[in-house]
Structure 1
Amino acid sequence: MSDKKVEIGGYFEFNLPSLGQFPYSQASKYISARSAFFDLLDQNKIKKVWMPKFICDSMIEPLLILDIEIQYYDLDEDFYPKIPSHLEKDAYLIYVNYFGLCTNIQQKLLSVYPNEQIIFDHSQAFFVKPFQCFATIYSLRKFLPVTEGGLLVSKALVNSNYVARNVENMIQQYQHCFIRCLSSASEGYEIFKHNELILNDCIPKSISGITKEILNSLDYDSIQSKRLKNFKFLHAQLASINKLHIDIDNIESPLTYPLLLENNISKELIESGIYTPTYWLDSLQRLDVDSFEYNLISKTTHIVCDQRYSQKQMQFQIDKVREIYNEY
């Protein structure tokens, strides 16, 4: 039963229709993936993990705070982890489904290692369903029109240890979205960066009521379908120049279209109004300069393929990529 006071009448509140499609009803909902990760580690007293070097610092921070032993590993060119064939009984393997391209690798890992010692990070693969493993973590704002949100699917967590949140801060979290809607992306960019910094805190907190309303109002089948359609359209025209092998038949949840060339062309695309994201530059300090991951980070341009856009915008990006590519 809710503790909220009964109120009838007055001005209308923020409200969206509920479509009831949210795909992970069993998940615990946190302000961010890192706070979900922190709660999982803390409550289960985990002491040792195998962690990829290619991951953002925000996912390493909980391990450092909790004084957990970290064994870092590299990836081969197929994104398979370079780790021992056996895990110590008290160690956990953390593996990321990179850009939504690595579901087949996850299946291989489950056939090799004890499932109860595997934690999958689906921050870049929202639509890939949880496997039978120790835990699966999701990030919402990379795929959906929300400014916060991490999910944790695990039978190893009975109750979430949430800390109370400030109402004013929850509203502030959405300010840049309203500015972009009313003006432009550039107008709200500084506020966006500030709001992202707020999420750096690892303390487990619940998502806001605003985010819950938005999540319940979304058509997830349509979102996934549009992303896949855009991804496949981009791949059909860019695969011939892409040095990254992509198994197009096994793609369920593309984050972006990662285009690996001899040169990163993000700067040129951004100057054309195509705001290509950059992922995990902070991991470069952990990587050898001749490693697969270092090359991937340095030379990959992430082409936008999300559900906001149609084939027209995909073709615009393709034309810009070809124009820039031919200049090198």
Structure 2
Amino acid sequence: MTATTAPSATTGQAPPPRRGIRHVPTGVWVVILSAVLLLSIVFAVTLGPADIRPTEVWGSILGHLGLDPTALGGDVLSPLRDGIVWELRMPRVLTAAAVGAGLALSGTVMQAITRNPLADPYLLGLSAGASLGAVAVILLGVGLLLPIAAFAGALTALLATLLLAGAAGTLTPTRTVLAGLAVSAFFGALTSLVIFWSATGDTYREILSWLLGSLSGAGWPAVAISVGALLVVGMPLMLTGRTLDAFAFGDNAASALGIGVNSARWLLLTATALLTGAMVAVSGSIGFVGLILPHAVRLVAGQRNRVVLPLSALAGAIFLIWIDTGARTLFDPRELPVGILTAVVGAPVFALLLLRARRIR
């Protein structure tokens, strides 16, 4: 039997059908995803060769905050187990959360600015520039400077892309994308040349691990860089939803709504590049996060960017936490580069999202 909708008592017409999960208020989604994120952080820290209980994670956090763990439901840990939680797993999980949130947020902004559903945070050649900087310092034997070199490489690629796009005329989405592709190809070729000419012995493995994306070396400095970038650059980006919604109707419509199109685009592209550069500097090149998470959120929450931006950040954080947890535990004692697992999971998920979007239309 097919269910029918009763007509309205005042108009005599059937009310419009609910939109399913899209009908859920944004605040409810934020609360749900925030709770899932907190639980994911706690339980991801418990997973690994050393069996850690959630109460021990809670106890370690309380202890390092100067509170009494036993009075607040936590366990007191031995120095060894506390070191596993606080020095090894916690900074890695927090870095994964920040990187996932930053990449998903950057992908959302890039797709809105360029009006290109296939845009991702690396569209402006940022990944290729960061890779060149990282490979250079690895080969020079100054790995401590890797985050700085990767960030500098990403900013160099951004500057080259924007200068090339600006030299070709007005900074439009099409010119920006084409300039980014050219810069990415050039920097990628330079990276390959440097590796071919100089890499020897164990440096090949170190370079390959970084190029494929890895959070294995993430410590509290990586947390400071990624979380700091997310707070300083990412939080303001979350407030640009109305501007991005205006861009969806084209430059003329955005200008009619009182937005300075060129200045806004330059500012948003620069902020996105800064955020992406900081994330790439601590994690290497991790694909698909900034591509699939915005699409998944739009299927659930609709097209309004002021809604999609915060939900994408939360979903990206949850996604990368569990992808990285799988990368370090599924093949123990061997660890898989996280970029491989995001591609293995992301490619079929993106295909399913495309098919689902087609059925919805």
**TM more than 0.5:** no
Using the size of structure 2 for normalisation, the TM-score is: 0.25
Higher helix share: 2
Higher strand share: 1
